């Protein structure tokens, strides 16, 4: 399938994709804050710069988009129909980098929770999951 946009139009659209402060991340931050937990954002001294960092608890939360981070068995993680030779290695590289960062954090004594974009649909289930994660003793 051929892309319907010119390379310049596609580039402009892709340039607007941000890595921080996206809607899913903001939703999780508002939920966690409303639950009474306090956190730091995007700790650059930790592998992968986790989205939410709870230093005293030694816990981090990543908020991942299903498409960009290849959420398994998720409809939102489908591959684009054009330029598959470009997208497949790029998206697979994201997934591998995420796993490497998770392993490094765990090796350093951090607990890691990944919240996927598609999991935001049920805020009560997400709240229970986050509370269990943050309140659990390591």
CA angle, residues 78, 124, 43, in degrees to nearest 5:
65
pLDDT at 26 over 90: yes
The predicted model gives 88-97 an average pLDDT of 93
**CB distance 12 to 21 below 8 Å:** no
Q: Which residue has better confidence, 109 or 2?
A: 109
pTM of the full structure: 0.84
At 102 the pLDDT is 97
Band of pLDDT at residue 17, cut at 50, 70 and 90: low
Domains belonging to the chain, first-starting first, are 7-135 (3.40.960.10)
Sole residue written with tokens 């508002």: 30
DSSP 21: S
- Mean pLDDT for all residues in the chain: 90
Q: Show Cβ contacts of residue 90 under 8 Å, excluding neighbours closer than 6 positions.
A: none
At 18 the pLDDT is 63
At 82 the pLDDT is 81
Q: Which residue has better confidence, 80 or 119?
A: 119
Encode 87-120: b = buried (16+ Cβ within 10 Å), e = exposed: eeeebeebbeebeebbeebeeeebbbbbbbbbbb
**CB distance 115 to 130 below 8 Å:** yes
Sole residue written with tokens 């992968």: 48
Range with top average pLDDT, 11-20, 69-78, 114-123 = 114-123
**CB distance 41 to 91 below 8 Å:** no
């Amino acid at each position: 399938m051929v892309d319907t946009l010119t390379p310049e139009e596609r580039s402009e659209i892709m340039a607007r994709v941000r890595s921080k402060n996206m809607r899913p991340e903001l939703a999780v931050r508002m939920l966690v804050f409303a639950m009474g937990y306090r956190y730091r954002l995007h700790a650059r001294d930790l592998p992968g710069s986790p989205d939410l960092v709870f230093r005293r608890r030694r816990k981090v939360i990543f908020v991942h988009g299903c498409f960009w981070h290849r959420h398994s068995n998720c409809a939102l993680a489908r591959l684009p129909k054009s330029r598959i030779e470009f997208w497949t290695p790029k998206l697979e590289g994201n997934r591998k980098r995420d796993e490497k960062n998770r392993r490094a954090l765990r090796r350093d004594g951090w607990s890691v929770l990944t919240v996927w974009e598609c999991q935001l649909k049920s805020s009560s289930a997400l709240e229970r999951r986050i509370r269990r994660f943050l309140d659990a003793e390591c």
